[in-house]
Amino acid sequence: MVDLTQGPDRPMGWGGRIGDGQRAFWLAYDVGLLSLTVIAMADMPQRWGVGGLVWLLVYLLFILRVTMIWPDYFRLLSRNWTLLLFATVCLISVVWSGSRATTMAAGTQMMMSTLIAVYVGWRFSPKQLIIGIFLIVSAGSALSLVNMVVGFVQPVYSAVGGLLGIYTNKNTLGHYSQMAALMSLTVLLMRPGEVPRLLRLYAPFAFAICAFAMVMSKSMTAVLLLPCYTGLFLLINRRRLPVSLRYGTIGLLIVLIGAGPFVLALMGIDPLTEIFRATGKDPTLTGRTDLWGIGLGVAAQSPLTGFGFGAFWAMDRFAPEQFAVVQAGSPAPSFHNFMIDILVGTGAIGLACNLTLLGTVLWRTLRFYLATGWALASGCLVLTLLPLNVGLVETYLFRQHEFMLMWLIMIGVSVKCHAPPFVNPSSRNLAGDLSQVND
């Protein structure tokens, strides 16, 4: 964790000697800011209609905190400028927006989301981020299962039968439970001295809880991707597994990948058709392919700059296209593909900036893994790849106040500020946070 109570040569933001009491206060303050940010970006308060109030509180806490350390924070921003490009374009797009009021509000929120995520990533190490977010999001999955039994929040299920839990959308429960499940594997494969014993004991139970909540949500994207990314994570960390489990896992993966399609073909079974039939879906991915066609048609009308961040959904001239989106089965203002949504809003310029952000984060987490091989580093890498995959078919990676985009910015900054090969942990007093041993 970065010590923000004083700089290298002087106190930061306040005069005098920094005492333990003041240190403890700002630590508690930052932990509270992290917790509120995660709760808000995970969409939990929306079910009770207080999401706006929670975000307002997060904004106020963040602004107050940054005013105490603004010179160092601005230097941090200059070192992570590639992560600010997309939010900047979203805000600037008010100039050519077809609905300037909408773009100004949404662009400001996107910039604030980015700035908050940068600060949180700076403040906390990768291990602290994963543990903190894991505890909060897995608690959301557990409460969702409790709600399934007790029904203290209504409705319990969505219109198509998926569990809503404490969220407003079944896919939200599915994808966030999926993220928490992979975080639990990261915690489980860390060495005993690296995480508290109680947390290691909780991790397998949390995985089971999150996996069950994900299945009950009937979010097919999450259901299909969790086994794939679980297998990838175990494959990357095969040397940390017991010998019998290590070779058993690899052998099972080889059999499934090699023999599975052959056996299904002999039996005359189309696996995709069976999955769609069993889950009530269709080959258009619940209308997503129709949505993509509509979105690409709109984007082609202004390919370079788009129509302004978020403006498409507020422009009367696109009423027919908006109605077609609803008919295709999308209640959310989205084309369920982050690249198409960005092309419609901010055009090729915005897409280039967004891909620069994502590429920066992926490169940093990959370098972290290649430099160390730690379980923590492999968790950061897998938890970077997953949102990139999910964003191709869901409403992530392009919106303000959004969980997966903010997570990627947080982990990208955190790895840059805390982890090898970017820093030497021992020289930054981070041995307590990154006390890992190479295999």
Per-residue pLDDT of the chain (439 residues; tens, 9 = 90+): 655 554 333 333 333 345 678 889 999 999 999 999 999 998 888 888 899 999 999 999 999 999 999 999 999 999 999 999 999 999 999 999 999 999 999 999 999 999 999 999 999 999 999 999 999 999 999 999 999 999 888 899 988 889 999 998 898 999 999 999 999 999 999 988 889 999 999 999 999 999 999 999 988 889 889 988 998 898 888 887 766 566 666 666 565 555 555 554 555 545 556 455 544 455 545 567 888 999 999 999 999 999 999 999 999 999 888 888 888 766 668 888 999 999 999 999 999 999 999 999 999 999 999 999 999 999 999 999 999 999 988 889 999 999 999 999 999 999 999 999 888 765 444 434 443 433 3
For 379-396, the pLDDT digits (tens) are: 999 999 999 999 988 889
The answer to whether 218 and 160 have CB atoms below 8 angstroms apart is: yes
- The upper half-sphere exposure of residue 199, i.e. CA atoms within 13 Å in the direction of its Cβ, equals 23
Question: Is residue 407 assigned to a domain?
Answer: yes
CA distances from 405 to 38, 411, 429 (A): 12, 10, 29
Question: Is residue 209 assigned to a domain?
Answer: no
Question: Is residue 250 assigned to a domain?
Answer: no
**Residue 287 backbone class (left: φ over 0; alpha: ψ -120 to 50; beta: rest):** left
Per-residue model confidence (pLDDT) at position 4: 58
Q: Domain count of the chain?
A: 1
Question: Is residue 184 assigned to a domain?
Answer: no
Per-residue model confidence (pLDDT) at position 267: 52
The answer to whether 365 and 415 have CB atoms below 8 angstroms apart is: yes
The answer to whether 393 and 100 have CB atoms below 8 angstroms apart is: no
**CA separation for the pair 435, 101 (Å, rounded):** 49
Question: Is residue 401 assigned to a domain?
Answer: yes
The answer to whether 344 and 307 have CB atoms below 8 angstroms apart is: yes
Burial class of 173 by CB neighbour count within 10 A (0 to 12, 13 to 18, 19+): buried
**CA separation for the pair 391, 151 (Å, rounded):** 31
**CA separation for the pair 389, 221 (Å, rounded):** 10
Q: Domain residues for 391? A: 69-123+284-420
Question: Is residue 15 assigned to a domain?
Answer: no
Burial class of 369 by CB neighbour count within 10 A (0 to 12, 13 to 18, 19+): buried
Question: Is residue 350 assigned to a domain?
Answer: yes
Question: Is residue 131 assigned to a domain?
Answer: no
Three-class DSSP category at 238? helix
Per-residue model confidence (pLDDT) at position 439: 33
Per-residue model confidence (pLDDT) at position 427: 40
Residues 6+ apart with CB under 8 A from 134: 180, 183, 184, 186, 187, 206
Q: What single DSSP character describes residue 439?
A: -
Residue type, 54: V
